[in-house]
Structure 1
Amino acid sequence: MFFFKRSYQHIFFFVLARTPVWQQTCVQAVYEYGYLIHEFDPWFNFRATQYLAEHGWSKFAHWYDYMSWYPIGRPIGTTTYPGMQFAGVWIWEAMKHVPKALAAPAFRHLSRCEPHCFPL
């Protein structure tokens, strides 16, 4: 039965031994393709979320963004998955209804509950 006991020392050494592999996995695209952003572009996602919040879904679906894929542009409605943009707009709209005095305690409570939802 001692094989199934967990000790913090074993977990620490496991994490320490696997860290180089995890780091190599995270920077593999940088080593192979260079330092340009090829996949996840946070500035595009930020601008797309702003556009969706300001103009709505119908204009977002037909939006042709000339700042992406310069100089030819990009048809956003047919080439992106808008889940992140919808989530961002939903969180922004929900936070507008939370009083500022309650925002910090609410996030503090959520951060205290997170380790119980995702144990090691």
Structure 2
Amino acid sequence: MQRLALFDLGRTLIDLDDAITRWAEEFAEQHHLKPEDVAWLVSLDQGLHPHREVFFNEVREHFALAASVEEPWAGYRQRMPQLVQCYPGVLSELADLRAAGWRAWGSSPTAWRTTNSASSGEPAWLTWLTATRCRG
């Protein structure tokens, strides 16, 4: 019988806080925002996560962006899989689980709802999972 370990990726296997901070720094640079705006973006994420539509509506209103909500949200979906990284030790621990006969699988409700993977033909959550390199 195959044993299966299921994990929520965000803030469990992957350092989502670091990825959000890096994304916020890039966003602030692209939009010529101030350093304190990065802190505001990170704080907003912690308060509204995982409701990205609400998050980007707040961002649009706060910074008076001319772009629709969908534009920065699309940029976020494109960039976040490149920014997320596993916490130290996660990959070796997943390898240990596999060696002990476990099959590890991660999931992120936020990712499968918000990551666009139509071009690859894969479910969005699988695209996110593959991008994080946490697949065990």
- The verdict on a shared fold, with TM-score over 0.5 as the criterion, is no
Which has the higher relative contact order, 1 or 2, with Cα contacts under 8 A spaced 6 or more apart?
Answer: 2
User: Max radius of gyration: which structure?
Assistant: 1
Greater helix fraction, Structure 1 or Structure 2: 1
Q: What is the TM-score of this pair, normalised by structure 1?
A: 0.27
Of Structure 1 and Structure 2, the greater strand share is in 2
TM-score, scaled relative to structure 2? 0.24
